[in-house]
């Protein structure tokens, strides 16, 4: 089966900045992504047996050992009906000291524990240390036996061992396996933007786990695509449910991870994370009451920051860091907004139709139909919406 097209394959170029080589979060030098995907069983739900449609995605912030070398980071909650562990300490010190993991709502604990176990093995024998991992979640219980607790420590280790630079698998993979977005099949998506040399030459990459939204709100590059794909034509996996709560339209969540190689300080990372909400809004996210919309940004432009334990440290107790001037960050903000919107679109385009528990089906977004809708609104390959300096990255 040939890979499903991404936004740029359809001539959709969001914003005017070019993408990086892979148009992925891994375009930020050293960032690595790994997935463990768990799919088995069909038919009626039998709790503890399946059907299973879930997994784990991990993001390693650089090419070294993230448990031993932290990077500056910050986070933002647009709406807090969700979980992103480790953020109290992140607020306190502004440092990310390990990988970021994404999974389903009821597997946060096992993933959290498994990362600590992996960290133990990453330290020299006998080292005394502590870890507060960052684990985010969205709810996949519409398609997955979420109360069967099918994510195991071995899956976390699998994702960590698989983490690599280069192209990133999207759609129904890893933590995004059972996710639904705008009443269509959602999941993992990614994109990047490269700033020109006279604006710093930095790269911004974004990865999303998209599991939010109602159909008629979906917009792509300003086009109301969702209105042209009504649920009467392409059925919703929610079967007409409209009450608030898990397993209903608009009740899901999204986790957005933003990476950059710019030398940002923690307060600037937090500001960068906030901008993901603007990209989400442009795609049709409204931060609904029952949605957990949480964003984290980290910056690798300062390397060699001492680990946070401070144990047995000699010397003057200071270290030198660099920062982008606050009045020069607008290009980074623009990049984060555009890459977030495109990452959501890529998540939708990459995801095939999936049937889960009790025969519930989330339909994949039809790329040919999207192309026709975009063309009709002047946003196709030759339309006025195409960026004149868009990059060639896929």
Kindly give the confidence (pLDDT) of every residue in the chain, 394 residues in length, as a single tens digit, with 9 standing for 90 and above: 457 899 999 999 999 999 999 999 999 999 999 999 999 999 999 999 999 999 999 999 999 999 989 999 999 999 999 999 999 999 999 999 999 999 999 999 999 999 999 999 877 777 778 899 999 999 999 999 999 999 999 999 999 999 999 999 999 999 999 999 999 999 999 999 999 999 999 999 999 999 999 999 999 999 999 999 999 999 999 985 544 456 777 778 999 999 999 999 999 999 999 999 999 999 999 999 989 999 999 999 999 998 876 555 666 788 899 999 999 999 999 999 999 999 999 999 999 999 999 999 999 999 999 999 999 998 876 555 443 333 333 3
Report whether 86 contacts 132 (CB < 8 A): yes
pLDDT at position 130: 87
Chain centroid to CA 27:
14
The answer to the question of residue 394 being in a domain is no
**How many C-beta atoms surround the C-beta of residue 392 within 10 A?**
9
pLDDT at position 312: 55
The residues annotated as belonging to the active site are: 253, 291, 293
CA-wise closest residue to 295 among 204, 194, 362: 204
Helix (H, G, I), strand (E, B) or coil at 36: strand
| DSSP per residue, 175-226 | GGTT-EETTEE-EEEEEEEE--GGGT--EEEEEEEEE---GGG--BTTB-GG
The answer to the question of residue 385 being in a domain is no
Report whether 15 contacts 376 (CB < 8 A): no
CATH number at residue 63: 3.60.70.12
pLDDT at position 214: 96
CA atoms 283, 286, 289, 294: torsion sign: positive
Instruction: For residue 209, list its beta bridge partners.
Output: 188, 255
The phi and psi torsions of 206 (rounded to 5 degrees) equal -130, 140
Instruction: State which residues form the domain around 301.
Output: 17-306+321-376
pLDDT at position 388: 33
The answer to the question of residue 312 being in a domain is no
The answer to the question of residue 1 being in a domain is no
The answer to the question of residue 314 being in a domain is no
Structure tokens belonging to residue 232: 């009467």
pLDDT at position 313: 63
The answer to the question of residue 76 being in a domain is yes
Domains identified in the chain, total number: 1
pLDDT at position 391: 35
pLDDT at position 307: 81
Residue 142, exposed/middle/buried by CB under 10 A (0-12, 13-18, 19+)? buried
The answer to the question of residue 133 being in a domain is yes
Measured distance CA(217)–CA(199) in Å, rounded: 34
pTM: 0.94
The answer to the question of residue 392 being in a domain is no
Residue showing tokens 């036996």: 145
């Amino acid at each position: 089966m040939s890979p499903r097209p991404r936004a740029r394959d359809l001539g959709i170029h969001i914003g005017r900045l070019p993408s990086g080589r892979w148009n992925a979060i891994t375009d930020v030098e050293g960032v690595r992504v790994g997935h463990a995907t768990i799919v088995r069983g069909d038919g009626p739900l039998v709790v503890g047996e399946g059907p299973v449609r879930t997994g784990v995605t991990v993001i390693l912030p650089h090419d070294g050992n993230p448990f031993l070398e932290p990077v500056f980071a910050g986070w933002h909650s647009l709406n807090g009906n969700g979980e992103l562990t480790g953020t109290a300490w992140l607020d306190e010190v502004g440092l990310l000291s390990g990988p970021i993991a994404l999974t389903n709502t009821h597997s946060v604990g096992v993933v959290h524990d498994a990362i600590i176990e992996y960290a133990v093995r990453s330290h020299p024998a006998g080292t005394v240390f502590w870890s507060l991992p960052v684990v985010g979640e969205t709810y996949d219980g519409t398609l997955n036996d979420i109360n069967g607790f099918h994510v195991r420590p071995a899956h976390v280790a699998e994702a960590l061992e698989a983490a690599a630079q280069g192209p990133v698998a999207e759609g129904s993979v890893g933590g995004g396996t059972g996710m639904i977005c705008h009443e269509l099949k959602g999941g993992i998506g990614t994109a990047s933007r490269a700033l020109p040399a006279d604006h710093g030459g930095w790269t911004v990459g974004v990865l999303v786990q998209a599991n939010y939204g109602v159909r008629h709100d979906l917009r792509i590059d300003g086009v109301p695509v969702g209105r042209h794909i009504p649920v009467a034509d392409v059925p919703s996996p929610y079967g007409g449910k409209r009450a608030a709560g898990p397993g209903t339209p608009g009740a899901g969540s999204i986790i957005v991870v933003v990476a950059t190689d710019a030398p940002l300080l923690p307060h600037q990372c937090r500001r960068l994370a906030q901008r993901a909400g603007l990209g989400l809004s442009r795609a049709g996210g409204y931060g609904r009451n029952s949605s957990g919309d949480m964003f984290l940004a980290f910056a690798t432009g300062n390397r060699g920051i001492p680990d946070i334990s401070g144990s047995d440290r000699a010397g003057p107790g200071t270290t030198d860091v660099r920062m982008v001037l606050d009045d020069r960050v607008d290009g980074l903000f623009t990049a984060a907004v555009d890459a977030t919107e495109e990452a959501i679109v890529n998540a939708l385009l990459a995801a095939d139709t999936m049937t889960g528990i009790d025969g519930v089906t989330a339909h994949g977004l039809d790329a040919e139909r999207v192309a026709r809708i975009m063309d009709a609104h002047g946003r196709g390959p030759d339309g006025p919406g195409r960026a004149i300096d868009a990059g060639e990255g896929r």
